[in-house]
Structure formats: structure tokens, C-alpha cells
């Protein structure tokens, strides 16, 4: 019968279709929000979730796992959390939080998850990378030998930085911490260093000022701004430094050089404390959880100079920390000082006395950068710190009408010149060669009779003069060489003539 044939054909086809179909068991791990408050959701039913794993709520918002307890997982919200209520469904994604990396980020302002905060389109990332990545092993590293020039005389001459170094910028509120870091970023306009500025817990206006400064004085097309302002979710602020490092590491790992500024880690520590207390971790010293040191250590450990086998790239870190009434021995400052390779300490009394940048020469150090300093600059600044330290001491004495023989007056006169040289306006970076010329002239005593008031003019006129009249110094410095005796003597004479000309110009 035809109907039988039709039926058996159908049966055969159906059997084939069924056996070809891929049937398997699919598990979907669903959690349930039990409680949500203060940027933290406590979730049950996600037994396999990993630390730092990204989870998604049913309304599309994201979070990551910060504390894993036996039956409840604490999820830090990365969005406002306004639409999340108890009972909401949560899904683990199996991946830790990632951030887009690549060239497409250059010139952009993004949040710590790589979502644009400027008017531009979405980031066309080269890849997604974990925000938490292991630091390079010792065997993968090389010595720090190339300088990072900040253009700030007091840093380059006294506390020079090397590529791959971690240097803390620390000081009280409003002592010019951000200004130093931003000047360092701006000076990279003339180098091959890519800059990443991470703002954690800053006021939006302060972040805007930084971006505006880099846009008008620096090379914004080689900078990435990762911004988690004070108004953003604590989870975003927590993740921001890690995301910034990952973005910078992309360049480091391709043999390029990067500089990251984290503004600032004190606020990051406060966010970590807040989140940890909310997840009921035991508070330790100053109510910070016990893992705060480890948190910042594993973050800063990621800055490195890589070995030639890995491309020789570098990542230099300039974390910023705020002190309270100059107290460097508080918990977070001591932690950060011991994690980094040195610190630039800014003093509020120096700042108030218009000594800006307010670098405290006695308390600041740079432990690895000295070897990376340009030989000509090292030579020119050899006696600088000693002379300045002696001056600071003598100044105290003479202030009370103490001794004043000729030698002492000479030292004080020199010290005042050094102080004037170390005072530098913002957005006015000095090239290495200009620094070498100024310090060579200073060491030769040429500036001793120049009134301190004339220094700003000298500083402004110097680069043009150096380019036209001191070509051999420019060539030597560009070639990375020190200057010989004759060259230095010629430079000192030249600067003396320049100073005379400038004062003659001004006289009539």
C-alpha cells in the first residue's frame, strides 16, 4: 500500500534526522540574589564561581566575585545596581573580568571595563585580556638601564627614573602630586613612551583638568585615560588600576615602552577597605583588610623591564599616594613605600613657600633610576644634592643671624641658585640637554652672580640658544655621551655671555 511506503520513508528520514541531531546535557549555573546593598550583592547557588569571575545579572548589569563563602558569594556590582533586587537571577560567565586592549584605545577616555566615556565610537579592541594578570617572573626581566625623562629638573637631576621602575609620588592634599605625574606624561610627547593615566576616586573636574592639560600640552594620541571617578560604582574604582595595567601591558609585551600613572592608590585602598568590610572580611590595622599589601604588591609588581628574549619592552609605574599631615609612616604610605623602588615626597610647607614642584630633597629617593640617568646629566648634577643639602642646613643657621664668613656666603649664594633652578612652572618641561647646560653653568659658578629673579627668563631663552650656539652639546647628549672638559668650559662661557646679553636687554 502506498500509504505504508510513505510512512516507512518518513520513519527512515526521521530516524536519520534524530540520530544526526546533537543531543547533550547542558548545564547552566544560575545563582539567586539573596541580598543587595551598598554596591554588593550576596548571591546563593553559584558554587563554581571563581574569584574575580565576571557574572551577569538578568538585567544585563555586570559584577565580579570578590569573596567566596561556603554558601554565599559576594558580588561587587560594576554598574549602578539600581535594577537589581533580591531574587534576581545571576549567571557566572566562567571568565574573570576582562578589558579590551590594543592600539584602538590610544587617545581615548574609557571606564575600567573599556566602555568609552568620550564621544567616540565603541573600542575596536585587538584582544580582550584579564584585568588580573601575573607579573613577569624574575627570569623574564632585565636591568633598568634606559631613562624616563620627566622634564622636571628636580626629578631628572636628583631622582632620575628608569624604564621599568616603580616610583611613588607621595604628599599631602594639594601639594602638586598630580601635577608632577601629568608633567611627566606631557614630556613623553617627544619620546616613544605610551602613557596610561588611571583616575581612581577623583573628582570629575580634576580628571577633566588632567585630560585638558595633556590635550593642550602633550601627545593625547599616545595616551589612554582610564577613569573611575568618585561618583562611579566602588567595583569600577576597585578594578581601575588593574585594568589600566592590563592596557599598558599590551604595549610592554610588544616590545614598546609604557608609563602608567595611578591617581591615586590611597583612594583605591579606601575602596578596597570599604568593599572588604561590606563582605565581612576581618579588619586589620587601620581597619584595612589583611590582604591590602598583597593587593598593591601584585599590582605594582607588573611594572617591569622585560628581557630581550621577550622583546625588551618596559612598563614604568608612577603610583600616587596621599598622606595626612605629612605622615609617611601611616599604614598605606609605608606599604606603598616598601613596594616601590623609591618615592618622590612632596612637602606642604615647601609648596606653601612657593617652592614648586615641592620635592622634599631629603626624604625622596630613587633606588634604581640612578643607573639609567643620562651620563651627561649625571656628570652635571654630581654635586647638586650635596650642595643643596648643605645650603638647607646653613640657611637654618643664618636665619638666626649666625656666622657668615665668605665661604658660607658663597655656599648660600649657590644654594639659592639651586633652589631657583629646581623651581619650575607647570607645563614647561626642560629637555635633557637644557638641564645639562643649566647644571654645567651652575657647577662652573657662572650663575652665582645672576639674580634669582632673572632665572625664569634664562630658562625660557635657553633652548633657542642651546639649539643655535651649543650644537656640539646637543649632539653629544643626543648620542648619549658625557661632555668632556673643554665642552663644559665652552658651555659655561656661552651661558655667561647669554646671561650678560639678557641682563643688558632688560636694562634699558
Ligand X SMILES: Nc1ncnc2c1ncn2[C@@H]1O[C@H](COP(=O)(O)OP(=O)(O)OP(=O)(O)O)[C@@H](O)[C@H]1O
267 binds, among ligand X, Mg ion, none (CB under 5 to 8 A by kind): none
**178 is a contact residue toward ligand X (CB under 6 A):** yes
| 198 vs 499 by CB, closer to Mg ion | 198
Among the residue ranges 62-70, 103-111, 115-123, 168-176, the one whose residues contact ligand X (CB under 6 A): 168-176
Q: Provide the 8-state DSSP code for 254.
A: T
**CA-wise closest residue to 57 among 29, 33, 28, 22:** 33
175 binds, among Mg ion, ligand X, none (CB under 5 to 8 A by kind): ligand X
Q: Is the dihedral of CA 55, 61, 67, 69 positive or negative?
A: negative
**174 is a contact residue toward ligand X (CB under 6 A):** yes
Least distance to Mg ion from the beta carbon of 324, Å? 15
Of residues 319 through 378, those in contact with Mg ion by CB under 5 A are none
Alpha carbons within 13 angstroms on the beta-carbon side of residue 491 total: 30
Tell me if 150 is assigned to a ligand binding site. Answer: no
Tell me if 423 is assigned to a ligand binding site. Answer: no
Binding Mg ion (rule: CB under 5 A), the pick from 165, 175, 178, 440 is 178
DSSP annotation string for 35-87 = EEETTEEEEES-TTPPTTEEEEETTS-EEEEEEE-SSEEEEEESS--TT--TT
414 binds, among Mg ion, ligand X, none (CB under 5 to 8 A by kind): none
Kindly report whether the peptide bond that precedes residue 264 is cis, defined as omega within 30 degrees of 0.
yes
Site string for Mg ion, 439-458 (x = CB under 5 A): --------------------
Kindly report whether the peptide bond that precedes residue 180 is cis, defined as omega within 30 degrees of 0.
no
- Whether the CB-CB separation of 54 and 98 falls below 8 Å is answered with yes
Tell me if 177 is assigned to a ligand binding site. Answer: yes
C-alpha cell at 348: 606642604
367 is catalytic: yes
Choose the catalytic residue: 367, 383, 385, 426.
367
279 binds, among ligand X, Mg ion, none (CB under 5 to 8 A by kind): none
Among the residue ranges 128-136, 174-182, 416-424, 462-470, the one whose residues contact Mg ion (CB under 5 A): 174-182
Of residues 348 through 407, those in contact with ligand X by CB under 6 A are 356-357
Tell me if 481 is assigned to a ligand binding site. Answer: no
Tell me if 362 is assigned to a ligand binding site. Answer: no
313 binds, among ligand X, Mg ion, none (CB under 5 to 8 A by kind): none
- Whether the CB-CB separation of 275 and 66 falls below 8 Å is answered with yes
**175 is a contact residue toward ligand X (CB under 6 A):** yes
C-alpha cell at 432: 635633557
How far apart are the C-alpha atoms of 363 and 351, rounded to whole Å?
Answer: 15
Write down the residue that cell numbers 633652548 correspond to. 463
**426 is a contact residue toward ligand X (CB under 6 A):** yes
**290 is a contact residue toward ligand X (CB under 6 A):** no
10 Å CB burial of residue 205 (0-12, 13-18, 19+) is: exposed
Among the residue ranges 132-140, 240-248, 370-378, 419-427, the one whose residues contact ligand X (CB under 6 A): 419-427
| 55 vs 228 by CB, closer to ligand X | 228
Least distance to Mg ion from the beta carbon of 229, Å? 13
CB atoms within 10 A of CB 410: 12
C-alpha cell at 285: 590595622
| 173 vs 285 by CB, closer to ligand X | 173
- Whether the CB-CB separation of 200 and 232 falls below 8 Å is answered with no
Sheet strands (E) in 102-242: 109-110, 127-130, 147-148, 161-162, 168-171, 193-200, 223-228
Annotated binding site: 171-178
Residues with a catalytic annotation lie at 367
Residues in contact with ligand X by CB under 6 A are 171, 173-179, 322, 356-357, 424-426
Residues in contact with Mg ion by CB under 5 A are 178
Annotated binding site for ATP: 171-178
Amino acid at each position: 500500500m502506498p500509504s505504508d511506503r510513505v510512512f516507512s520513508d518518513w520513519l527512515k528520514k526521521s530516524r536519520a534526522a534524530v540520530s544526526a541531531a546533537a543531543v547533550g546535557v547542558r548545564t547552566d549555573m544560575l545563582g539567586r540574589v539573596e541580598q543587595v546593598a551598598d554596591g554588593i550583592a550576596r548571591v546563593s547557588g553559584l558554587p563554581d564561581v571563581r574569584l574575580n569571575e565576571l557574572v551577569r545579572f538578568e538585567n544585563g548589569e555586570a559584577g565580579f566575585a570578590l569573596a567566596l563563602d561556603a554558601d554565599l558569594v559576594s558580588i561587587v556590582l560594576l554598574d549602578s545596581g539600581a535594577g537589581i533586587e533580591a531574587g534576581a537571577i545571576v549567571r557566572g560567565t566562567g571568565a574573570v573580568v576582562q578589558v579590551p586592549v590594543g592600539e584602538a584605545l590610544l587617545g581615548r577616555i574609557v571606564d575600567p571595563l573599556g566602555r568609552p566615556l568620550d564621544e567616540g565610537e565603541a573600542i575596536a579592541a585587538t584582544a580582550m585580556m584579564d584585568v588580573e594578570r601575573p607579573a613577569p617572573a624574575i627570569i623574564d626581566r632585565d636591568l633598568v638601564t634606559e631613562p624616563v625623562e620627566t622634564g622636571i629638573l628636580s626629578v631628572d637631576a636628583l631622582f632620575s627614573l628608569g624604564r621599568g621602575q616603580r616610583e611613588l609620588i607621595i604628599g599631602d592634599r594639594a601639594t602638586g602630586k598630580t601635577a608632577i605625574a601629568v608633567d611627566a606624561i606631557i614630556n613623553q610627547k617627544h619620546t616613544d613612551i605610551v602613557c596610561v593615566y588611571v583616575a581612581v576616586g577623583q573628582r570629575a573636574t580634576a580628571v577633566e583638568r588632567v585630560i585638558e592639560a595633556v590635550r593642550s600640552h602633550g601627545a593625547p594620541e599616545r595616551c589612554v585615560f582610564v577613569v573611575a571617578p568618585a561618583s562611579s560604582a566602588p567595583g569600577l574604582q576597585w578594578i581601575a588600576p588593574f585594568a589600566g595595567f592590563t592596557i599598558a601591558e599590551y604595549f610592554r609585551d610588544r616590545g614598546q615602552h609604557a608609563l602608567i600613572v595611578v591617581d591615586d592608590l590611597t583612594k583605591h585602598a579606601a575602596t578596597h577597605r570599604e568593599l572588604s568590610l561590606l563582605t565581612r572580611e576581618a579588619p586589620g590595622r587601620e581597619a584595612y583588610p589583611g590582604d591590602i599589601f598583597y593587593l598593591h604588591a601584585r599590582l605594582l609588581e607588573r611594572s617591569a623591564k622585560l628581557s630581550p628574549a621577550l622583546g625588551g619592552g618596559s612598563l614604568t609605574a608612577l603610583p600616587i599616594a596621599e598622606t595626612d599631615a605629612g605622615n609617611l609612616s601611616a599604614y598605606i604610605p609605608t606599604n606603598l613605600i616598601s613596594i616601590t623602588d623609591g618615592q618622590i615626597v612632596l612637602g606642604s610647607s615647601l609648596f606653601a613657600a612657593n617652592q614648586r614642584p615641592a620635592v622634599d630633597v631629603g626624604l625622596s629617593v630613587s633606588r634604581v633610576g640612578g643607573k639609567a640617568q643620562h651620563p651627561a646629566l649625571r656628570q652635571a648634577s654630581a654635586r647638586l644634592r650635596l650642595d643643596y643639602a648643605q645650603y638647607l642646613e646653613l640657611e637654618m643657621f643664618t636665619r638666626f643671624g649666625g656666622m657668615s664668613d665668605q665661604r658660607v656666603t658663597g655656599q648660600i649664594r649657590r644654594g639659592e641658585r639651586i633652589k631657583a633652578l629646581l623651581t619650575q612652572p607647570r607645563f614647561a618641561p626642560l629637555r635633557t640637554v637644557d638641564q645639562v647646560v643649566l647644571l654645567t653653568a651652575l657647577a662652573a659658578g657662572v650663575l652665582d652672580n645672576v639674580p634669582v629673579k632673572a632665572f625664569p627668563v634664562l630658562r625660557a631663552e635657553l633652548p633657542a640658544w642651546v639649539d643655535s650656539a651649543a650644537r656640539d652639546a646637543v649632539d653629544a647628549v643626543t648620542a648619549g655621551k658625557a661632555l668632556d672638559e673643554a665642552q663644559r668650559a665652552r658651555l659655561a662661557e656661552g651661558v655667561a655671555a647669554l646671561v650678560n646679553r639678557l641682563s643688558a636687554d632688560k636694562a634699558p
